[in-house]
Amino acid sequence: MMNDTTIERHSCGALRASNEGARAELSGWVNRRRDHGGLIFVDLRDRNGVTQIVFDPQQPHFAQAEHLRHEDVVRVRGVVRARPAGTENEKLATGAIEVGVDDLEVLNRSEVPPFQVNNDDPVDENLRLEFRYLDLRRPRLQRNLRMRHRIVKAMRDYFDEHEFIEIETPMLIKSTPEGARDYLVPSRLHPGRCYALPQSPQILKQISMIAGFGRYMQIARCMRDEDLRADRQPEFTQVDVEMSFCSQEDVLDMMESCIRYVWKSVLGIELGTFPRLTHEEAMTRYGVDKPDLRFGLELAHVNHIFANTEFVVFKSVIESDGAIVALRYPGGAALSRRDFDALTEESKSLGGKGMVWIALGADGTKSSAQKFLTDDVVAALRNTTGAQTGDAILLFADARALAHAVAGRMRNLVGDRCNLRDPARYAFCWVLDFPYLEIDEETGRPAPAHHPFTSPGDDQWHLIDTDPLAMRAQHYDMVLNGYELGSGSIRIHKPELQRRIFEMLGMSAQQIEERFGFFVRALEYGAPPHGGMALGIDRIVMLACGEENIREVIAFPKNQVGRDLMMDAPAPVPEQLLRDLYLRSTAPEPASGR
C-alpha cells in the first residue's frame, strides 16, 4: 500500500454524507460482491456495519477485485463520495455514500463458506455449530452477543454500585449439591481421587459470608451433568449473589431492582413491581411453579360444580379427593372434533387420563360428555372460567397435583395457539414459600426442592420430625414468561441446624463429616445470618433477545446432545493420559456421528 498521510482509518459503519471528499481507509470482510454496469460493487463488513466500495475498470486493482469472494479479508483506500441520486440506501447507516477504491490489499482469502454469512437464513444447527466462527459473524449472533455483554456489564455495574464485590471461586472443588450429577476431574497427583466441577459456587459464596465480605457477587460458570433441553447446557452462567444480615425481603428487593436496572439501561424498558405468588397459589392458579403471566386463563377448580354428576370419571375423581380443573380456550368453539381429539391426545401424553371439552358455539353447546352436562352445569362453568359464547372449556380430572399440572401445560399450549405469549412482553413474577422437600423423580425419595443449605421458615422447624414433607422453605424463584430465571434462599447459619437437615435427608454422622464436615465446621466459627440467589444469564439474555433457545446467546455452546462440534469434544484421549490418571476405559466403541 502507498504511504498516504491524508488518509483516515474508519470502521465500516462510520462514514456519512459529511465525510464526502475525504480519503478513507477501511478494513473488513467481503459481505457481497456485485458486478454491475462495468463496475464492481463490494459491501465491506466489519463489527460496526457495512460500507459500499466501488472498483472502477480504470483503477489498477480492478482485475484483482474481480476475484474477490465472500468472506475474503481486505483493506481498501479511496475517496468518499455521494452515491448517485436514486441509489442511496436508507436502510443502511452508511447508505448515503460509497468509497471509490484506488488501492486494494487482500489480507487473506476465504474458502467458500458452507452457508451464507451475510444473512440469517435458516441453516442446519449442527453445521452452524461446526463452523461457529462463521455463524458468529452473522447479524443475529453479533447482535445477541453484544446484548449479552451489555446485560452482564449492567449487572456488574449495579452490584458494584450496591457495594458487592466480585470474588472468583475455583473450578476444581468438592461436590456442591444442586440436584444434578457432578462432572468429575480425576487427579493425577492424588491417585484415585477426583475434583468435582462446581454445580454452583453455593458453599463457597456462603463461606465468603462467613469470611466477612458481606456482599458477594460473581458472574459464575456452573457445570451440571444432566439431560439436556432447549434451555439447558452442560455448562451455563449465573449471576451469583450472597448477602449477610439480610431478610428474604432484602434479597428480593436487591434482585428485583437489579433486573429493573438492567431492563431500563439495556432495553430501555421500565418494569413495574413484580407480582408475588406463593408456590401453592402458582400451582393451583397456573398448574406450574413458573407461570407465564403474559396472559390470564387461570385454572378453575370445579369439583363443586360436578358434585351431583353421574359421569363416572368425574364422580370417582371427586370421591377419591382428586380435582376437576377447568381451562378456558378463547375462540375454542371454532375447533373441529378432530382438533379436540388432538388436544385430548396431547393431554394424555402429559400423563393425564384424558380431557373433556365443551364448545360454546353460537348455535348451541357441544361436548365430548354431552349427556352429562345440564344447563346449570354449563352456566356455572361459564361463570367460573369467564368463558363466553365462541370459547371452549377444557376439563381435566385426576389426582390433584396431576390434574393441575396437566391443565397448566395445556394452558401454555392454549396460550401459544391463541398468540397470547407475545415475545416482546416481559411478565416477571416471584414465586415464594416453596415446600422444603419434593419427591425426586429419579429416586422416588424426598430431596430438597432447592438445596440442603436452605433454611426452613422460622416457624417450620417443628415439622422436621413429624411431617417434613409439609415443611416450607425460605426459598424463592424469579420467573419470567414461564421460565424460571433462578432460585435463592435464606440459608441455615447455625451448625446444629445444618446437621439436622443433613440427618433428615438420611445422612449418617460419618457421611456428613465426609461430604460437608469442612462446611459445618465453618458455620461453627461465627457464621452471620445470610441469604442470596442466582439468576441464569443465558436464559435472561435469551428472553431479552426474543430467542427461544439458549444456544443462540452463547458464543460456543454444545449441541443438543452435549457435544462441541467445532472442537469435537468430548473426544477420546490417548491411552497414556488415561494411565497417568490411573484410569482404564470400559466404554464401548464410541458411536460415530453427532
206 lies in the site for ligand ASP, by CB under 6 A: no
Residue 554 and residue 538: Cα distance in Å, rounded? 7
Piece in contact with ligand ASP (CB under 6 A), picked from 154-162, 256-264, 313-321, 484-492: 484-492
The DSSP annotation for 181-230 comes to: BPPEEE-SSSTT-EEE--S-SHHHHHHHHHTT--EEEEEEEEE-B----T
**Cis upstream peptide for 191 (omega within 30°):** no
Does the footprint of ligand ASP cover residue 248 (CB under 6 A)? no
Three-class SS of 80-92:
EEECCCCCCCCCC
C-alpha separations of 356 from 220, 327, 368, 516 in Å? 47, 11, 6, 51
Task: Give the span between the Cα atoms of 65 and 81, in whole angstroms.
Answer: 19
Site string for ligand ASP, 119-158 (x = CB under 6 A): ----------------------------------------
488 binds ligand ASP (CB under 6 A): yes
CB of 176 to ligand ASP, least distance (A): 8
Among 276-284, 373-381, 424-432, 482-490, the segment contacting ligand ASP (CB under 6 A)? 482-490
Among 51, 52, 59, 200, binds ligand ASP (CB under 6 A): 200
Strand partners, 225: 181
Residues between 166 and 185 with contacts to ligand ASP, criterion CB under 6 A: 178
Residue with cell 380456550: 329
Residue 522 phi/psi, 5-degree rounding, is -60, -35
Minimum Å distance from CB 532 to ligand ASP?
4
Selected from 489, 539, 551, 565, the binder of ligand ASP by CB under 6 A is 489
Distances (CA, A) of 68 to 33, 43, 115, 358: 8, 11, 17, 65
Region of 98-106, 147-155, 410-418, 486-494 interacting with ligand ASP (CB under 6 A): 486-494
- The neighbouring-strand residues paired with 486 are 478, 535
User: Half-sphere exposure (CA, 13 Å, Cβ side) for 593?
Assistant: 3
Query: In whole angstroms, how close is the CB of 489 to ligand ASP at the nearest point?
Result: 5
Mapping DSSP to helix (H, G, I), strand (E, B) and coil, where does residue 108 land? Answer: strand
Q: Choose which of 532, 537, 550, 558 interacts with ligand ASP (CB under 6 A).
A: 532
Is residue 501 within the footprint of ligand ASP (CB under 6 A)? no
Smallest separation, CB 155 to ligand ASP (Å): 15
Q: Is 487 in the site for ligand ASP (CB under 6 A)?
A: yes
The CB-of-488 to ligand ASP minimum distance in angstroms stands at: 4
Give the shortest CB-428-to-ligand ASP separation in angstroms: 18
Q: Which of 533, 541, 542, 550 binds ligand ASP (CB under 6 A)?
A: 533
- Separation between Cα atoms, residue 530 and residue 455, nearest integer Å: 10
Count of residues near ligand ASP by CB under 6 A:
9
266 binds ligand ASP (CB under 6 A): no
202 binds ligand ASP (CB under 6 A): yes
- Shortest Å distance, C-beta 282 to ligand ASP: 18
Q: Is 204 in the site for ligand ASP (CB under 6 A)?
A: no
- The bridge status of strand 483-490 relative to strand 215-223 is unpaired
| 87-95, 122-130, 282-290, 487-495 -> range binding ligand ASP (CB under 6 A) | 487-495
Query: CB of 187 within 8 A of CB of 166?
Result: no
Residues β-bridged to residue 569 = 564
Instruction: Give the footprint of ligand ASP on this chain (CB under 6 A).
Output: 178, 200, 202, 487-489, 532-534
